[in-house]
């Protein structure tokens, strides 16, 4: 299974990617973690990346694709991956597809996480206080959110057409979001004819009988199936 996580900064993509990867036994690949490793190691790539992070700008496409190619290929051979943090624009998504499709490493399902702007800012400021990340200041956070929202609708449309897009309400407790995501993924995998995971995930208390939106790339229309809450 090959998954992509899409969502604004602070929507919980990294947390959910790690939990979902553990559930399915596949690899979590974070472009942000790989880039920050270069910064910490003081590489030539890291020096370029550090300036982008300081401003809250996107890192140049060629740098990100270069550092992701080998991890994505290796993870595909081992059974799949969850890609977190890239692509962030349609241009990046198209470039990634052109590289990945001939290798059989392209994304099959995209998870799109939503959350309110005030909650996103609150989470990111709290993270900055806890971790000391220099890109988690209020000015940089607002800039990063603005950049994301400029590309959000085109990205949703792109993955609705090309792959299977699952929209998740990330403005809830972590366990509920994880349960919703896994329920939607299992439903999408069944639609795509992919083998289902055998370990069931139980919903959180009081969250019975909700809905998750699954957009199939073949039709571009949403289907609402009874399951866990979105």
Quote the pLDDT of residue 196.
61
Residues 6+ apart with CB under 8 A from 211: 224, 225, 226, 227, 229, 230
CA distances from 154 to 10, 89, 90, 91, 210 (A): 20, 8, 7, 10, 27
Quote the pLDDT of residue 147.
92
What is the domain range of residue 43? 2-226
Q: How many domains does the chain have?
A: 1
Task: Write down how long the chain is.
Answer: 230
Q: At what angle do helices 61-77 and 31-41 cross, to 10 degrees?
A: 120
Tell whether the torsion through CA atoms of 208, 210, 215 and 219 is positive or negative. positive
Q: Give percent above pLDDT 70 in the chain.
A: 85
pLDDT in tens, 158-191: 999 988 999 999 999 999 999 999 999 999 999 9
Quote the pLDDT of residue 54.
83
The string of DSSP codes covering 113-153 is EE--HHHHHHHHHHHHHHH--TT-SHHHHHHHHHHHHHHHH
pLDDT in tens, 187-212: 999 998 887 654 443 434 333 333 34
Average the pLDDT over 115-123 and give the result: 96
pLDDT in tens, 5-24: 999 999 999 999 999 999 99
CATH number for 79 = 3.40.50.300
């Amino acid at each position: 299974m090959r998954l992509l996580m899409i969502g604004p900064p602070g929507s919980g993509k990294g947390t959910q990617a790690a939990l979902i990867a553990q559930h399915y036994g596949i690899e979590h690949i974070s472009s942000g973690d790989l880039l920050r490793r270069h910064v910490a190691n003081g590489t030539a790539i890291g020096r370029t990346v550090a300036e982008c992070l300081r401003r809250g700008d996107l890192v140049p496409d060629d740098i990100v694709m270069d550092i992701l190619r080998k991890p994505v290929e290796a993870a595909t051979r081992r059974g799949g991956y969850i890609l977190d943090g890239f692509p962030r624009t349609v241009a990046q998504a198209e470039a990634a597809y052109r590289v990945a499709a001939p290798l059989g490493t392209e994304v099959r399902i995209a998870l799109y996480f939503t959350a309110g702007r005030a909650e996103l800012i609150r989470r990111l400021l709290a993270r900055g206080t806890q971790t000391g990340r220099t890109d988690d200041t209020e000015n940089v956070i607002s800039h990063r959110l603005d950049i994301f929202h400029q590309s959000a609708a085109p990205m949703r449309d792109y993955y609705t057409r090309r792959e299977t897009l699952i929209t998740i309400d990330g403005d809830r407790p972590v366990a509920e979001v994880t349960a919703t995501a896994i329920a939607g993924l299992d439903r999408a995998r069944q639609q795509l004819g992919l083998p289902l995971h055998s370990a069931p995930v139980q919903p959180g208390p009081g969250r019975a009988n909700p809905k998750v939106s699954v957009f199939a790339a073949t039709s571009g229309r949403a289907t609402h199936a009874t399951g866990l809450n979105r």
